């Protein structure tokens, strides 16, 4: 693919086992004019390298992230069909996942369990942590290539079955997951998205089958694109897993993953997937003012633990015609 050149910026490529991150440092001046002039170059760089970090982006307000995301990525999305806690900051700009600072967030492609996954995700670092808190990336095509062929074949043939139990006080409630208090709306959304539902009073169980591997609509690259390793009960720390299984039973876990035909994915298979991600993960330190933009199909992202205060906000986009 031909890379469109940037104007008014220095670029530098970081690479690790097939994962790329292009650092772009604008020369300064009017940041909106720079993003507008370089929108095509940024899109081309995301197709080529999957992840682009604009250092010292010139953004000073959270709301500006939505403007940049629209200029570069297209229509900004609401965070619907949620799987993690996030809060709206302003408009369609949200906090990144609000997990305790001493925990990592494993690599994942945003909303891969949903049909409405974003094409691009834009992260703006409004405040860098004292230590840690990187948002690592791992190339989804490199991950696919590195996984054992038999495992990929099984996942590709069967797909992934995501199961969820929404209840208040353990994981997300259905009201938070679907951003509505209206059971009728949730029913029609789920029917429309091929999500099976089962109500038990105010507890909602859902099941949805989704592919494990996709082809990128523009580059054609085949990518590992699922959240089986995030949803699977084996991904939880042992004490949490044992506790949850005792309280909820396997059928009532806040979330879990199986092969698409309902057969179990083993803990060893999940460990293999997590190991392959780990080896291909590139973590660029944040400085306040940096902006990371990713192609959500071509790369996963996660979060490293951190100390001190940290604020990273997110905007997600979809291109109309892809």
Residues that bind ligand AKG (CB under 6 A): 96-97, 105, 110, 123, 135, 301-303, 312, 314
Q: How far is the CB of 211 from ligand AKG (least distance, A)?
A: 20
Give the shortest CB-232-to-ligand AKG separation in angstroms: 17
3-class secondary structure, 313: strand
Q: Closer to ligand AKG by CB, 48 or 110: give it.
A: 110
Question: Could you tell me which residues are beta bridge partners of residue 16?
Answer: 19
CA distance 163 to 253: 8
Q: Which is nearer to ligand AKG, 3 or 103 (CB)?
A: 103
Q: How far is the CB of 164 from ligand AKG (least distance, A)?
A: 17
Position with the least CB separation from ligand AKG? 96
Q: How far is the CB of 301 from ligand AKG (least distance, A)?
A: 5
For residue 67 the two structure tokens come to 């403007």
* Residue nearer to ligand AKG on the CB measure, 137 or 141: 137
CB within 8 A of 240, min separation 6: which ones?
none
Structure tokens at 84: 């993690």
For the CB of residue 33, give the shortest distance to ligand AKG in the complex, in Å.
27
Nearer to ligand AKG, 74 or 133 (CB): 133
Q: How far is the CB of 302 from ligand AKG (least distance, A)?
A: 5
Tell the smallest beta-carbon distance from residue 110 to ligand AKG (Å). 6
Compute the distance between CA of residue 208 and CA of residue 117 in angstroms, rounded to an integer.
14
The smaller minimum CB distance to ligand AKG, of residues 136 and 159, is found at 136
Q: Which is nearer to ligand AKG, 280 or 303 (CB)?
A: 303
**3-class SS at 305?**
coil
CA within 13 Å, CB half, 296: 25
Judged by beta carbon, residue 25 or residue 104, the one nearer ligand AKG is: 104
HSE-up of residue 111 (Cα within 13 Å, Cβ side):
21
Cβ–Cβ < 8 Å for 158, 263: yes
Interhelix angle 149-158/267-279, nearest 10 degrees: 110
Q: Cβ closer to ligand AKG: 28 or 308?
A: 308
Are the C-beta atoms of 234 and 272 separated by less than 8 Å? Answer: no
Q: How far is the CB of 280 from ligand AKG (least distance, A)?
A: 16
Q: Residue with structure tokens 């997590």?
A: 274
User: How far is it, in rounded angstroms, from Cα 225 to Cα 229?
Assistant: 11
Contacts (Cβ under 8 Å, ≥6 apart) of 218: 47, 322
Dihedrals φ, ψ of 145, to 5°? -65, -30
């Amino acid at each position: 693919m031909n890379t469109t050149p940037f104007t008014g910026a220095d670029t530098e490529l970081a690479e690790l086992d097939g994962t790329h991150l292009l650092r772009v440092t604008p020369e300064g001046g009017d940041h909106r004019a720079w993003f507008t002039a370089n929108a095509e170059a940024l899109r081309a760089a995301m197709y080529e390298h999957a992840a682009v970090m604009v250092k010292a982006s010139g953004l000073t307000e959270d709301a500006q992230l939505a403007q940049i995301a629209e200029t570069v990525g297209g229509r900004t999305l609401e965070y619907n069909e949620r799987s993690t806690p996030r809060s709206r900051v302003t408009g369609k700009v949200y906090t990144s996942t609000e997990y305790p600072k001493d925990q990592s967030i494993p690599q994942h492609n945003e909303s891969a369990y949903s049909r409405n996954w974003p094409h691009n995700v834009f992260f703006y670092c409004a405040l860098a942590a004292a230590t840690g808190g990187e948002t690592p990336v791992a190339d989804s095509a490199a991950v696919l290539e590195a996984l054992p062929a038999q495992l990929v074949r099984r996942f590709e043939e069967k797909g992934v079955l995501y199961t969820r139990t929404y209840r208040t006080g353990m994981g997300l409630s259905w009201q938070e997951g679907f951003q509505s208090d209206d059971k009728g709306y949730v029913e029609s959304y789920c029917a429309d998205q091929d999500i099976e539902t089962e109500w038990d009073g105010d507890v909602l169980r859902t099941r949805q089958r989704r592919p494990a591997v996709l082809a990128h609509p523009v580059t054609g690259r085949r990518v590992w694109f699922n959240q089986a390793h995030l949803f699977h009960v084996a991904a939880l720390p042992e004490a949490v897993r044992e506790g949850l299984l005792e309280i909820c039973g396997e059928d009532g876990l806040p979330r879990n993953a199986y092969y698409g035909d309902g057969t179990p994915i083993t803990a060893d298979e999940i460990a293999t997937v997590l190991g392959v991600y780990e080896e291909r993960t590139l973590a660029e330190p944040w400085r306040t003012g940096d902006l990371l933009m990713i192609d959500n199909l071509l790369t996963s992202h996660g979060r490293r633990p951190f100390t001190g205060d940290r604020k990273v906000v997110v905007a997600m986009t979809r291109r109309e015609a892809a």
